[in-house]
């Protein structure tokens, strides 16, 4: 899934972190560092999603959101804010936000919410099957069974979660940071090769037969990509 995203965030380090992560997922990211510039871009160009910080210089995020809705734009808006109490969340949603994510947050959750909002906008992607496929590799999320062709593959729970995460993002580059957050629930780098070990073990299981084409590819300097090409 790809799309054009407007990120309105005045914290340069956080904006870099978000923009780089989304770019790795093939999204096009435009940026604004204050509310006035963000509002101009939001109303002047066509975006699939706006990620909006609530506390901004020049014009705060709530004013930007209200102006976007007053202009008649239905572009999905995801608010980011250090104000995570219930009243603040309700205020944001009532003002017209489609989702609200409190800081600090993990990139994996931000990505999941981004994808959910974009799927909601696209009827073709609104229903997700319980069976995931990549070439002749098949994973059933309900029965927890994995097959490649007629061959049954037995995976440990962590290996299943790892493969499921890859298959939900078939064709996309998955970074080590994303895997640490989503599969291990680490929000820091443990300084070990735990990911490489598990990926190698998973690769041996899904590519164990001589006539099976490689599916799990290493992308040098970036991470991994599951694809039948």
pLDDT, tens digit, for every residue of 185-194?
776 677 778 8
Q: How many CA atoms lie within 13 A of 4 on its CB side?
A: 7
3-state helix, strand, coil in the chain (%, to 5): 40, 20, 40
Cα R_g (the chain), whole angstroms:
20
The Cα–Cα gap between 78 and 116 comes to 11
The Cα–Cα gap between 52 and 81 comes to 8
The Cα–Cα gap between 226 and 216 comes to 5
pLDDT, tens digit, for every residue of 108-157?
889 988 988 887 765 443 344 578 999 999 999 878 899 999 999 999 98
What global pTM score does this model have?
A: 0.55
3-class DSSP assignment, residue 42: helix
Is 148 in contact with 212 (CB distance < 8 Å)?
A: yes
The Cα–Cα gap between 75 and 68 comes to 8
| Mean pLDDT (whole number) for 53-64 | 93
């Amino acid at each position: 899934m790809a799309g054009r995203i407007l990120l309105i965030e005045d914290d340069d380090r956080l904006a870099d972190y978000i923009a780089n992560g989304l770019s790795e997922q093939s999204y096009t990211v435009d940026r604004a560092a204050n509310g006035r510039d963000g509002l101009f871009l939001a109303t002047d160009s066509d975006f699939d999603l706006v990620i909006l910080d609530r506390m901004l210089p020049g014009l705060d995020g709530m004013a930007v959101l209200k102006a976007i809705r007053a202009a008649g734009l239905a572009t999905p808006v995801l608010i980011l804010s250090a104000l995570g109490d219930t009243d603040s969340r309700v205020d944001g949603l009532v003002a017209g936000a489609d989702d609200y994510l409190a800081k600090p947050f993990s990139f994996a959750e931000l990505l999941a919410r981004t994808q959910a909002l974009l799927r909601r906008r696209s009827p073709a992607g609104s229903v997700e099957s319980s069976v995931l496929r990549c070439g002749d590799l098949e994973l059933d999320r309900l029965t927890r069974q994995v097959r490649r062709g007629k061959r049954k593959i037995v995976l440990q729970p962590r290996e299943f979660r790892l493969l499921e995460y890859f298959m939900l993002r078939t064709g996309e580059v998955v970074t080590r940071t994303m895997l640490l957050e989503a599969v291990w629930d680490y929000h820091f780098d443990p300084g070990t090769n735990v990911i490489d070990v598990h990926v190698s073990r998973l690769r041996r299981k899904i590519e164990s037969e001589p006539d099976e084409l490689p599916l799990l590819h290493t992308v040098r300097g970036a991470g991994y990509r599951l694809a039948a090409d």
